[in-house]
Structure 1
Amino acid sequence: MFAMGENVLITGGAGFIGSHVADALLAKGHRVRVLDCLHPQVHGPSQKRPEYLSRDVELIIGDVRDRAAVEKACRGIDVVYHFAALVGVGQSMYRIEDYTSVNNVGTSVLMEVLAQRPPRRVIVASSMSIYGEGLYERVDGSIVPGQSRSLAQLERRDWELRDARGNVLVPVATHEDKIPALESVYALSKYDQERMSLIIGRAYGIPTVALRFFNVYGPRQALSNPYTGVLAIFSSRLLNDKAPMIFEDGKQRRDFVSVHDVAQACVLAMEREQAVDSAINVGSGNAYTVSEIAARVADAVGKRVDPEITGQYRKGDIRHCVADIALARKTLGYEPRVSLEAGLRELAGWLEGKSAKDAVLEAKAELSARGLTL
């Protein structure tokens, strides 16, 4: 059992999710250290300590690939949360070396250090992206894993998944038993982080939990990073009085979960023995279309701006994926507490007075120039 006053390390802990987890751990009476390189794409060119990061957090500025920095950060640590990663499906498809180096190699450096000094628990941030397409239901009621759509189908702008007879498949909640189907370099790297952590955990007797985050939103997201979460991207566009841009037809379904619920799950993963040696979904369990989310964000921030539906496909994207959170309820005692309405109100309040560099068109042009959109 974990008592108050554990020494906890969060790699990547100066970022969006990590800083909220730090707050939740401090509120529980734990001591928190963060290792973060303060990447300029996330934290801006000044790379200063974020104002939102609690002064009670010890910050070590360093790269997770730097063994000396990792060894320093791990000294005297009881629990490790491994969140350090480059994030973004689209960017991962052309910054292949960077994503592989930070996410895969960075994890290997951390795991080698932890193998020599085993902590009492490791919690690693995985991602819903490892599923590729989620689970689907046929017209006869049987459940099947979604398969990648062919380029010919996408070129016809026929967006939905279909069975062999051409019937549209209906998306259903995706549970952890679905076999991963990796559609992007980002997904590949997150699966590598998850599996490497669990493998080393089993080999060295380190109780390890992998949490598969779905679409996380809330205060502190990097508004000027065009490869961050979709709600932050939409918010950035709206702050600049521009329409949110949506690929395909906007009817793709996702699971959006408040960062406060994610932080709750992260703390529970440290406390609950039932979670050890598992990969567990963390989402809201609710499905929303991307177009619906764009409209609701606009309403929340008081902007009457309709989204722009591009009708384009971005290579590496999937159609539908929503979390089945039954395992999180069973093993973690997790229950989402923040409704979408309440979460968007909080986000809108945080956005007041904020400014953001709108780099969405620049990012879209980058993808197009490399042939990564159809």
Structure 2
Amino acid sequence: MSKHVLITGGAGFIGSHVADRLLAKGYRVRALDNLSPQVHGEQRQRPDYLDPEVDLIIGDIRDPDTVKQALEGIDAVFHFAAKVGVGQSMYEVADYLNTNITATGVLLEALMRHPVDRLVMASSMSIYGEGMYRTDDGRLVEGSRKNGDLQKGDWQAYGPEGEPLSPVPTTEDKAPSIASIYAMSKLDQERMSLMLGETYGIPTTALRFFNVYGERQALSNPYTGVLAIFASRLLNGNPPQIFEDGHQRRDFVSVHDVADACALALERDEAVGRAFNIGSGHDVTVTEVAQRVAAALGRDIEPLVTGKYRTGDIRNCFADISLAQEQLGFEPKIRLDAGIRSLSAWLEDQNAEDRVAEATRELTVRGLAL
């Protein structure tokens, strides 16, 4: 009999793609999702993209009885349920802590009573803060930025003694540097899961996702991934809005490659007890990404580089994926241009409400965007 897998947050962007991958491999899949209006709209209906073979339980992961029901007959769990949004987390503090940390505690307590063969949880590159840097003389150091420099429009990260730095790929052994409530909650989720997994004999893996993009991302959620936000702006005839000077560098990874990584983490013994970067292994500036999305959508709209900054934003962070390649056999297959073309084809049939200005005003009023 095939294994039965539960995906918390399984009706969402990443969870639904992982469900597709697992069904194709012969697994049975159940999803637990509260169909949050911020992601799924006010109707909170089962999304059309969710495979009909997925057994969807609509409920709150913070409710122990709901979690107990969802775990019946389950052999493995993917824990993706979370509120996602760096800026929003800085003013909806209690909700982010409750949804991300408390809910993870409820799930872990349930797993103590109902052990499974594997737990895979979604962590985040946000736990790193600034990525890794190298000095001119070859030393690897932590980079940092000061508010005084940002207020003067100096966006660069500097070394401990103010020395200039060059960004390099970030490895899993970089110490966390927490710059938002969201990042703190993801680090707590990761540490709770790995610690209690080891304590109670539940083989556990944490996957630190970098900037995931692709079809099914919520286009009307102004706190979702940056490519979806750019697409929403462009579909409404508005320029993508970019903070600072647009030269900050990120790693954008296709959701299809992420689904591959999740399947590998479920099946590989080498994954147990470890955290892995899941990215593309390539970096690109935010301005370049905005221009590529506009070109793929056939919109002759240049991005608007604001010269402003948001509290908690970082300059550079992109993934070193060598550990996932060596231990999981993970090899990203979809290059950025191909992924954006696939995304743009899906976008042709989508409607998007552009709520970026509303979200920016919210951050500005609270002193989080300057």
TM tier, shorter chain? over 0.9
Q: Give the deviation of 1:161 after TM superposition.
A: 1.0
Determine whether 1:154 maps to 2:150.
yes
Residue 51 of structure 1, aligned match among 48, 51, 66: 48
State yes or no: 1:74 paired with 2:63. no
Residue from 296, 302, 315 that aligns with 2:311: 315
Q: Secondary structure at the match of 1:262?
A: helix
Q: Which residue of 1 aligns with 2:345?
A: 349
For structure 2, the residue ranges without an aligned partner over 5 or more in a row are none
Instruction: Choose from 304, 321, 327 the match for 1:325.
Output: 321
**1:166 shift after superposition:** 4.3
Distance in structure 2 (CA, Å) of the matches to 1:170 and 1:50 = 43
Determine if the alignment matches structure 1 residue 336 to structure 2 residue 332.
yes
Query: 1:373 is aligned with what amino acid?
Result: A
Aligned with residue 64 of structure 1, among 34, 57, 61? 61
Q: What's 2:181 paired with?
A: 185
Contact 1:224 1:359 in 2 (8 A): yes
1:8 aligns with 2:8: no
1:1-374 alignment to 2 at 5 Å?
5-147=2-144, 149-163=145-159, 166-374=162-370
5+ long unaligned stretches in structure 1: none
SS of corresponding position for 1:144: strand
Distance 1:114 1:87 in 2: 24
Against the structure 1 CA distance between its residues 115 and 357, is the aligned structure 2 distance closer, same or farther, given a 3 Å change threshold? same
Q: In structure 2, give the amino acid aligned to 1:75.
A: E
Tell me the TM-score normalized by structure 1: 0.98
Q: Is the 8 A contact 2:143 2:159 kept in 1?
A: no
What is the CA–CA distance in structure 1 between the aligned matches of 2:204 and 2:159, rounded to whole Å? 38
Q: Tell whether the 8 Å contact from 1:7 to 1:32 is kept in structure 2 after alignment.
A: yes
Task: State how far apart, in whole Å, the 2-side matches of 1:341 and 1:369 are.
Answer: 36
CA distance in structure 2 between the aligned counterparts of 1:163 and 1:285, rounded to whole angstroms: 24
Aligned 8 A contact 2:29 2:54 in 1: yes
User: In the aligned structure 1, how far is the partner of 2:23 from the partner of 2:162?
Assistant: 53
**Are residues 72 and 155 of structure 1, via their aligned partners in 2, closer, same or farther at CA, if it must alter by over 3 Å?**
same
The residue type paired with residue 168 of structure 1 is: P
Aligned length in residues: 370
Measure, in 2, the Cα distance between the counterparts of 1:19 and 1:192.
24
Matches of 2:29 and 2:143 in 1, distance apart?
40
- Structure 2 CA distance for aligned equivalents of residues 262 and 246 of structure 1: 25
C-alpha separation in 1, matches of 2:337 and 2:302: 19
CA–CA distance in 2 between the matches of 1:73 and 1:134? 37
CA distance in 2, matches of 1:284, 1:321: 12
Deviations 1:194-251 (A, max 9, x none): 1100011000000000000000000000000000000000000000010000011100
> For each residue in 1:74-124, what CA deviation from the matched residue of structure 2 results, as whole angstroms up to 9, or x when unmatched?
111000000000001000000001100000000000000001111000000
Residue 29 of structure 2 aligns to a residue in which SS? strand
How big is the shift at 1:185?
A: 0.3
* Identity level (%): 61
Aligned AA (1:371): G
Deviation at 1:355, TM superposition (A): 1.2
Taking structure 2 as the reference length, the TM-score comes to 0.99
Task: Give, in whole Å, the separation in 2 of the partners of 1:126 and 1:197.
Answer: 10
Distance in 2, Cα, partners of 1:164 & 1:171: 15
Residue by residue over 1:129-164, the C-alpha shift from the partner in whole angstroms, topping out at 9 and shown as x without a partner, is: 0000000010101111223x1111111110001235
The offset of 1:48, in angstroms, is 0.2
Instruction: Give me the CA root mean square deviation.
Output: 0.8
8 A contact 1:93–1:316 mirrored in 2:
no
Distance (Å, rounded) in 2 between the aligned partners of 1:294 and 1:121: 38
Cα distance in 2, alignment partners of residues 131 and 360 from structure 1? 25
